[in-house]
Amino acid sequence: MKREKTNPPAAPHSPQTRTVHGDTVIDNWFYLRDRENPHTIPYLEAENRFTAEATADQEPLRQELYAEMVGRIQETDISVPWKEGDWHYYTRTQEGLQYTVLCRKGANGAEQVVLDGNALAAGHEYFSLAFDHVSPDGNTLAYAVNTDGSEVYTLRFRDLRTGELLPGEVSGVYYSAAWAADSRTFFFTTLDDTKRPYRLWKCVAGGNGAPELIFEEPDARFNVGIDRTRSAQFLLLTVSSHTTSEVWFAPASGMGSFVRIQERKQDVEYYVTHQGPYFYMRTNEDGRNFRLLRAPVAEAVIWEEVIAHRRNAALEEVNAFAGHLVVTERVEGLKQLCVIDSATGAQHSVEFGEPAYTFFEDQNEEYETQLFRFSYSSLTTPRSVYDYDMVSRERTLLKQYAILGGFDSANYVSERLTATSHDGTLVPISLVYRKSFERNGQAPLYLYGYGSYGIVTEPGFSAERVSLLDRGYAFAIAHIRGSGDLGRLWYEDGKLGHKKNTFLDFVACAEFLGANQYTSSDRLAIAGGSAGGLLMGAVTNLRPDLFRTVVAHVPFVDVVNTMLDETLPLTVTEYEEWGNPNVAADYAYIRSYAPYENVVPAEYPNILATGGLNDPRVPYWEPAKWVAKLRENNLGASTILLKTQMGAGHGGPSGRYEKLREKAFEFAFVLRSPL
């Protein structure tokens, strides 16, 4: 990458003083949070122009990368069909079109388009669906659309027999929704002023009456969600914070009242599913890695243990079918699949043979079945959809998604490594590279990390990543604390007052990869987004000498100011993740690592920060303020860039081709960053 030909835009200073718990801080760019300020939008637009100019010489490489990425996908493709009621559903994509089309076929074999994302997106720069749920009788579609990236959706209904929209729509809807068994009554959640899903409503699809409020959660820490059990017998209302939850159930008819299964207890989470005469409860009471209990539906107060708590195995998910339970566990960072015969209690495991892999439940809408469908992939194996017969134990490959352009998984190698962190904790690393890769300390490496909310960074396949691997890069995932990669205890040891473990684990992984000749600091690129962007900012402050390039997507870097503002989305709900800065000890700890607060004069690596003007999760001003402060404190000659999506939100562009263009932009920045 060449040095900038012109100076970057300067965000004017407008000092604002913050004094909290006796600590006084001057923030020169606090005003950027006000998009009505006459300097804000012009500054973001100037940064975008500067980024375009500073990277103009990368355009040929971007086009080359984009062509490679598009060339690897089967642009016109169809998913594996799944049965739901009397229909077989599938999605298809078409060359040149950005969005999927949901289709179905009935007994006559004729295709019916249920929902065409391309038609709905026409005329909009951004398009997203919260859900697309077909009623149990197959006659009505409920779907919710957003066109600006704000994640505030509008609910609509369509008669699938006529194709006509039904009267009435509801705005302010969120992701969670469910049909009642009568195929007329629909349940959905709406948002409060801080974008928290706090109310549950029901309405009659196409009816003239106003929606009826069913439930409202007053505690600002808690979100409300709704689901219908696979058995189609019950509706489940789940109220949850980051550490606590409770579940209410009602008949799937939608006509009865919701009954609470168990009152919430602080720092106890439980989740419920249904099978036959029993409710099954996955709970972390008396076992932080969760255990499985069951109780008769008719008397859901007497619970017996089905799977005991184990310190070395995290119980992550339970899927109930008429004759079997499918239990997902995580052991030593890798997913395991256990099948339990409900009649006999006999258990068996499904084996996977690679050192680093993942799988996810696929479409499993049928309750009366002995087939469990899952998608499997690894760092070298593309997504593969299987049906697993829970009785015969046979696994049938239904589809492996094609990776075109001459890709051959035999040309790549994956490893599972372990780094030792500052306190002696062993931190796993998943790694992939071409067989021609040489461990001599001269190879470039791209290290990814997240490490928050107990979210797992799965070692799955990426077709885009091949463009780096084929240019000599290794790709690694740091399975750091704060994630759920090694279970609940792993998560809890990287949050609140233990948050710095997340950053120190990542640094340990980077140092390990250098010490073991996989790369060197002048060839190491790191990346993360959102809370992973906080990670990027924190480790850059800790060890600016350790990395050549940093990519921080929508980075949560202005942690103190955001957590002090209860009017912002997510703030109060996040106290259980980061701490409450209104408490002096919490403030001091957050203040000690918050990336924006701790930028000091130093030689910083090359940095690309991205943002979304309509992002409700990490406001656009966080990366903007961070970049402005980094530039003023950078003592070196590195390139620091900001790119803001002016019509999108947290996830960036929504179309599949536009997402590939953004990935090509990022990879070109990484590949051309100066050594």
Q: Environment class of residue 19 by beta-carbon count within 10 Å: exposed (0-12), middle (13-18) or buried (19+)?
A: exposed
Q: Are 70 and 95 in contact (CB under 8 A)?
A: no
**CA–CA gap between residue 328 and residue 317 (Å, rounded):** 5
**CA–CA gap between residue 75 and residue 71 (Å, rounded):** 8
Burial 637-661 (b: 16+ CB within 10 A, else e): ebbbbbbbbeebbbbbbbbeebbbb
Under DSSP, the state recorded for 652 is: B
- The two beta strands, 212-216 and 197-204, are antiparallel
Q: Is 530 in the active site?
A: yes
Which pair of structure tokens corresponds to residue 566?
């209860």
Contacts of 655-661 with CB under 8 Å at 24 or more apart are 655/98, 655/99, 655/121, 655/127, 656/93, 656/98, 656/99, 657/70, 657/98, 658/98, 660/66, 660/69, 660/70, 660/464, 661/62, 661/66
Residues in Cβ contact with 2 at an 8 Å cutoff, skipping those fewer than 6 apart: 57
- The sheet carrying 426-434 orders its strands as 412-420, 426-434, 474-478, 445-448, 524-529, 549-553, 606-612, 640-645
Which pair of structure tokens corresponds to residue 224?
């409300």
- 254 φ, ψ (degrees, to nearest 5): 80, 5
- The two beta strands, 524-529 and 549-553, are parallel
Instruction: With CA atoms as reference, report the closest residue to 169 among 213, 203, 130, 127.
Output: 203
- The two beta strands, 426-434 and 445-448, are unpaired
Instruction: With CA atoms as reference, report the closest residue to 127 among 104, 100, 108.
Output: 100
Which pair of structure tokens corresponds to residue 71?
């060339």
Task: Report which residue type is found at 491.
Answer: Y
> What CA–CA distances, in Å, run from 269 to 247, 283, 488?
10, 6, 11
Instruction: With CA atoms as reference, report the closest residue to 578 among 554, 594, 599, 567.
Output: 594
> What CA–CA distances, in Å, run from 73 to 66, 69, 407?
11, 7, 11
Catalytic residue, from 79, 240, 245, 530: name it. Answer: 530
Which pair of structure tokens corresponds to residue 212?
């009826």
- The two beta strands, 153-159 and 549-553, are unpaired
Q: Is 545 in the active site?
A: no
Which pair of structure tokens corresponds to residue 563?
């957590």
Q: How far is CA 340 from the centre of its chain?
A: 29
Residue 304 host element (H or E): strand 304-307
The region that residue 393 occupies, defined by phi over 0 for left and psi between -120 and 50 for alpha, beta otherwise, is: left
Catalytic residue, from 240, 479, 650, 673: name it. Answer: 650
**CA–CA gap between residue 38 and residue 36 (Å, rounded):** 6
Catalytic residue, from 79, 615, 638, 673: name it. Answer: 615
Q: Is 615 in the active site?
A: yes
**CA–CA gap between residue 231 and residue 607 (Å, rounded):** 50
Active-site positions?
Answer: 530, 615, 650
